[in-house]
Amino acid sequence: MKIIVQRVKEAYVSIDGQMHGQIKQGLLLLVGVGPEDQPEDLDYAVRKLVNMRIFSDTEGKMNLSVKDIQGEILSISQFTLFADTKKGNRPAFTGAAKPDMAEAFYQNFNQELAKEVPVETGVFGADMQVELVNDGPVTIILDTKNK
């Protein structure tokens, strides 16, 4: 899995002009699933994401997790994280998992996250518009294959 983790003050996703999911303070995740991803990748990602200390404590140090601040997560599927840009000018997305595998994996990922913190999602495969207000900004790349 490749996940872009963005600390936000608020974020929302809309589809065809209609609000689909919205959070206040928490994490916006752009989630890409690869064909080699296994349940241990999912478990690792969930554990890391809900416990990652990237929110400021009272002294201004990044010392609190999304769980600690009682934050929320907005999770958006993002196969383009597996883009191969080595040849030509058009990215190839052959490194991403096939849609049926990726969707099931993504749904399971969101279900496991929701056991820890409130989770909102986009719609797998939909043309989504995502808006956010950065908190920081703090942006982290989590790649479960580079542990």
Say what the pLDDT of residue 21 is. 96
Radius of gyration of the chain (CA): 15
Strand pairing report for 72-77 and 119-121:
parallel
Say what the pLDDT of residue 137 is. 87
CA atoms within 13 Å, Cβ hemisphere of 64:
17
DSSP state for residue 82 in the 8-state scheme: G
Global pTM reads 0.95
Considering 58, 80, 121, 139, which one is annotated as catalytic? 80
Per-residue pLDDT of the chain (147 residues; tens, 9 = 90+): 999 999 999 999 999 999 999 999 999 999 999 999 999 999 999 999 999 999 999 999 999 999 999 999 999 999 999 999 999 999 999 899 999 999 999 999 999 999 999 999 999 999 999 999 999 889 999 999 987
Strand pairing report for 62-64 and 55-56:
antiparallel
Instruction: Identify the H or E element spanning 55.
Output: strand 55-56
Vertex 3 angle, CA 54 and 53, to 5°: 15
Say what the pLDDT of residue 113 is. 98
> Would you call 80 a catalytic residue per the annotation?
yes
